[in-house]
C-alpha cells in the first residue's frame, strides 16, 4: 500500500487503487455491519475519497511511464540534458505526485512536455481544486471557504494561497468579454437597456484612493485619544466607491399611470392582493460588471462598448436608467456622444418620488393626511403630463402659501432637483414605450455583488482581492462563469507552455 503522495515505479500503476477498493469491500462486510447509516455514509465518503486519490495517482503513474519510454527511445540532442523530476499536485482528492522527464539547456529552465500535455498549473494546486476554492470564496468569508474546502474535499489550500488563486482566476476577464460573441438578441422589438450605480466598500488604508487617504489621515490626527468615555465618531473615510453597471434586454411592456400607482401602493404582504402585480418583462441576456479600480467614466465607457457589441449598427432602442447622481449622468451623456449613440436617459421614479414627497410634506405643513392626498394628485401629474406642468404647479403653490424657512428649503430642494433632471422625467413617453422606470435591477446588483460578500461585518479589503471578488461575483451573476472558466484554462495553457515544444 502506497502512502499519500508516494510514487511506486515497480508496482502496477493501479495496484494501490485495487487494494484500496478491496479494503473497502472487506470493511463493508465486516466492521461496517455494526454502524448506522449516517456513520456508514460518512466513513464511505472518507474511504472513497482516498480510493479516488489512488486512482488519480495510478493514472499519473501510467502517464509517467509512457513519458519515460518516449524519451528513452528518442535520440539525445547536443547540449540538452535529460533527467526525471517529480512534482506534487494538490487535488480535490488529496496530494498526488507526478514524475516526468525534463529537458534542460544550460542557463535556461527545464521544460516538461508531459506538463503541457496535461495542462498542469504552474503551482501545486490543480485546476479543479482552485476552481472549487474560488467558488467557495465567492459566496462566503475566506476562513469559512477554506474550512469548507477542507471539510468537503481531500485537498487543502491555506487562506493566503486561496486569496492569491482568486486574483489569478480573474486575470482573463477583460479578454474573455472582448472576444466573446454577444448573446443572441431577443429580436428587433426588444429593448436594449443599461444602468449604473455606485456603492462603497470598506478598504484597508493603503487601498483607498489618494484623496480619501488624505482625508482619513487628517481625521485620525484630529481624533482624541486616551479618553475611554470619548464618544466615537462614525467612520467617514474608510470606503472606496465601486462602480456597478449592467446591460440587458427585455421585451417592451406598455403601461399606464394607474399601473404604477397601484404597484407603489401595494404592500409587500397584502393578503387581499393575491395576484402578482403587473410589471415589466423579465430581464434577459444580462451582463453585470463591477470594479473598484475603474472610475465612473471608465465603467460607463465599458457599458457603451457592450451596447456596441450587441448593436453595432445602432438600430436598437437603447435606454439607460440612473438615479439622480450628477457625476454618473454626466459620464453617461458624455460617453453617448463619444460613441455617437442616441439613447434615452431615464431617471429612477423612486428617487423622484422622494423629492416630490419633500415638496408635498412642506406644502401640506407637515400634515400626514394632507401630504398623502397631495402626493396622489401630483404623482399622477408626474406620470401623465409634461414635468414642466408639475414644476409650475409646485411653484404656484409655494408662492400662494405661507411657508416657514424650513418648509421653503424643502420645496426649493425639490424644485432644483426637478428642474435639473427635467430632460430625464418624460414618464408618459417611457410608459407608452414599455420602458422600465425604476433602477431595481442595478440596486439589486449592488446589494448582491457588493453588500452580500464584501460588506460582511468587520471585513476590510485590499484593492486586488476586492477587485477579484467583484469580478468573480459579476461573472456568476451574469451566467458566464462556466464559459469563462473554460476560456481561462485555455489561456493558462498558452501562458504556461507557449515555449514548450
With respect to residue 354, please indicate whether it lies within any of the assigned structural domains.
yes
CA separation (Å) from 366 to 352, 372, 400?
19, 11, 17
With respect to residue 391, please indicate whether it lies within any of the assigned structural domains.
yes
- What would the DSSP string read from start to end of 244-256? EEEEEEE------
Are 192 and 249 in contact by the 8 Å Cβ rule? The answer is yes
Number of helical (H) and strand (E) elements in the chain, helices listed first: 20, 7
Are 415 and 359 in contact by the 8 Å Cβ rule? The answer is yes
First to last CA, the chain: 36
pLDDT grade for 212, boundaries at 50, 70 and 90? confident
Instruction: Tell me, yes or no, if the pTM score tops 0.75.
Output: yes
* Mean local confidence (pLDDT), 65-77: 85
Residues in the chain: 501
More confident residue, 102 or 221: 102
With respect to residue 123, please indicate whether it lies within any of the assigned structural domains.
no
With respect to residue 284, please indicate whether it lies within any of the assigned structural domains.
yes
Q: Which helix (H) or strand (E) holds 170?
A: none
Q: What percent of the chain has pLDDT over 90?
A: 78
Side-chain-side CA neighbours of 207 within 13 Å: the count stands at: 20
With respect to residue 475, please indicate whether it lies within any of the assigned structural domains.
no
Integer Cα distance of 428 and 431 in angstroms? 5
Q: Which residues of 231-248 are buried (b: 16+ CB within 10 A; e: fewer)?
A: eeeeeebbbbebbbbbbb
Q: What is the pLDDT of residues 157-187, one digit of tens each?
A: 999 999 999 999 999 999 999 999 999 988 8
pLDDT grade for 16, boundaries at 50, 70 and 90? very high
Are 439 and 321 in contact by the 8 Å Cβ rule? The answer is yes
Q: What is the pLDDT of residues 315-369, one digit of tens each?
A: 888 999 999 899 999 999 999 999 999 999 999 999 999 999 999 999 999 999 9
Non-local CB neighbours of 392 within 8 Å, separated by 6+ positions: none
Closest-CA residue to 426 (of 437, 413, 410, 440): 437
Q: Which residues form the domain of 295? A: 191-220+236-267+277-446
With respect to residue 294, please indicate whether it lies within any of the assigned structural domains.
yes
Closest-CA residue to 101 (of 136, 60, 65, 62): 65
Closest-CA residue to 96 (of 59, 133, 41): 59
Q: Average model confidence (pLDDT) for the chain? A: 91
Cβ atoms within 10 Å, residue 211 = 9
Closest-CA residue to 345 (of 357, 356, 331, 359): 331
What confidence score (pLDDT) does residue 270 get?
Answer: 54
What confidence score (pLDDT) does residue 370 get?
Answer: 95
Map residue 339 onto helix, strand or coil: coil
Q: What is the pLDDT of residues 218-263, one digit of tens each?
A: 777 776 666 666 666 656 688 999 999 999 999 999 999 999 998 8
Integer Cα distance of 108 and 104 in angstroms? 7
Quote the cell numbers at residue 172. 482573463
Are 116 and 81 in contact by the 8 Å Cβ rule? The answer is no
Q: Residue 450 burial (CB < 10 Å; 0-12/13-18/19+)?
A: buried
pLDDT grade for 9, boundaries at 50, 70 and 90? very low
Are 434 and 278 in contact by the 8 Å Cβ rule? The answer is no
Closest-CA residue to 4 (of 49, 46, 53): 53
Integer Cα distance of 18 and 488 in angstroms? 35
pLDDT grade for 6, boundaries at 50, 70 and 90? very low
Closest-CA residue to 90 (of 52, 59, 118, 123): 123
Give φ, ψ of 25 to 5 degrees. -60, -45
Q: Per the structure, how many domains does the chain have?
A: 1
What confidence score (pLDDT) does residue 226 get?
Answer: 64
What confidence score (pLDDT) does residue 476 get?
Answer: 97
Integer Cα distance of 209 and 318 in angstroms? 33
Integer Cα distance of 85 and 480 in angstroms? 38
With respect to residue 483, please indicate whether it lies within any of the assigned structural domains.
no
Quote the cell numbers at residue 40. 456508514
With respect to residue 436, please indicate whether it lies within any of the assigned structural domains.
yes
Amino acid at each position: 500500500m502506497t502512502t499519500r503522495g508516494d510514487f511506486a515505479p515497480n508496482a502496477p500503476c493501479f495496484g494501490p487503487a485495487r487494494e484500496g477498493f478491496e479494503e473497502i469491500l472487506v470493511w463493508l462486510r465486516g466492521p461496517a455491519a455494526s454502524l448506522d447509516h449516517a456513520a456508514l455514509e460518512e466513513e464511505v465518503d472518507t474511504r472513497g475519497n482516498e480510493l479516488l486519490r489512488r486512482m488519480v495517482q495510478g493514472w499519473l503513474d501510467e502517464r509517467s511511464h509512457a513519458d519515460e519510454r518516449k524519451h528513452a527511445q528518442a535520440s539525445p540532442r547536443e547540449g540538452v540534458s535529460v533527467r526525471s523530476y517529480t512534482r506534487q499536485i494538490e487535488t480535490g482528492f488529496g496530494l498526488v505526485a507526478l514524475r516526468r522527464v525534463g529537458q534542460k539547456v544550460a542557463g535556461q529552465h527545464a521544460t516538461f512536455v508531459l506538463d503541457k500535455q496535461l495542462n498542469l498549473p504552474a503551482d501545486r494546486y490543480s485546476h479543479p481544486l482552485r476552481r472549487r476554492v474560488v467558488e467557495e470564496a465567492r459566496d462566503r468569508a475566506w476562513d469559512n471557504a477554506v474550512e469548507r474546502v477542507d471539510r468537503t474535499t481531500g485537498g487543502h489550500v491555506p487562506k493566503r494561497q486561496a486569496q492569491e488563486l482568486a486574483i489569478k482566476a480573474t486575470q482573463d476577464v477583460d479578454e474573455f468579454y472582448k472576444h466573446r460573441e454577444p448573446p443572441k438578441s431577443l429580436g428587433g422589438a426588444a429593448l436594449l437597456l443599461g444602468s449604473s450605480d455606485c456603492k462603497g466598500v470598506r478598504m484597508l488604508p493603503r487601498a483607498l484612493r489618494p484623496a480619501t487617504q488624505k482625508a482619513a489621515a487628517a481625521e485620525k490626527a484630529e481624533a482624541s485619544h486616551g479618553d475611554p468615555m470619548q464618544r466615537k465618531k462614525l467612520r467617514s473615510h474608510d470606503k472606496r466607491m465601486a462602480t456597478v453597471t449592467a446591460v440587458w434586454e427585455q421585451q417592451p411592456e406598455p403601461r399606464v399611470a394607474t399601473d404604477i400607482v397601484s404597484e407603489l401602493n401595494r404592500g409587500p404582504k397584502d393578503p387581499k392582493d393575491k395576484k402578482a402585480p403587473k410589471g415589466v418583462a423579465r430581464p434577459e441576456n444580462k451582463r453585470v460588471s463591477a470594479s473598484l479600480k475603474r472610475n465612473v467614466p471608465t465603467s460607463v465607457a465599458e457599458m457603451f462598448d457592450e451596447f456596441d457589441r450587441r448593436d453595432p449598427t445602432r438600430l436598437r432602442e437603447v435606454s439607460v436608467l440612473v438615479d439622480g447622481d450628477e457625476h454618473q449622468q454626466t459620464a453617461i451623456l458624455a460617453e453617448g456622444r463619444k460613441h455617437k449613440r442616441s439613447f434615452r436617459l431615464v431617471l429612477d421614479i423612486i428617487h423622484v418620488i422622494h423629492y416630490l414627497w419633500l415638496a408635498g410634506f412642506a406644502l401640506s405643513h407637515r400634515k400626514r393626511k394632507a401630504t398623502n392626498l397631495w402626493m396622489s394628485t401630483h404623482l399622477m401629474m408626474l406620470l401623465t403630463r409634461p414635468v414642466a406642468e408639475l414644476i409650475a404647479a409646485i411653484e404656484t403653490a409655494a408662492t400662494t402659501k405661507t411657508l416657514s424657512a424650513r418648509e421653503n428649503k424643502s420645496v426649493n430642494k425639490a424644485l432644483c432637483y426637478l428642474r435639473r433632471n427635467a430632460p430625464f422625467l418624460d414618464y408618459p413617453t417611457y410608459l407608452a414605450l414599455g420602458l422600465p422606470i425604476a433602477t431595481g435591477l442595478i440596486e439589486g446588483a449592488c446589494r448582491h455583488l457588493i453588500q452580500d460578500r464584501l460588506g460582511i461585518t468587520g471585513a476590510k479589503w485590499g484593492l486586488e482581492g476586492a477587485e477579484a471578488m467583484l469580478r468573480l461575483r459579476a461573472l456568476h451573476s451574469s451566467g458566464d462563469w462556466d464559459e469563462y472558466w473554460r476560456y481561462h484554462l485555455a489561456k493558462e495553457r498558452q501562458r504556461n507552455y507557449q515555449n514548450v515544444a
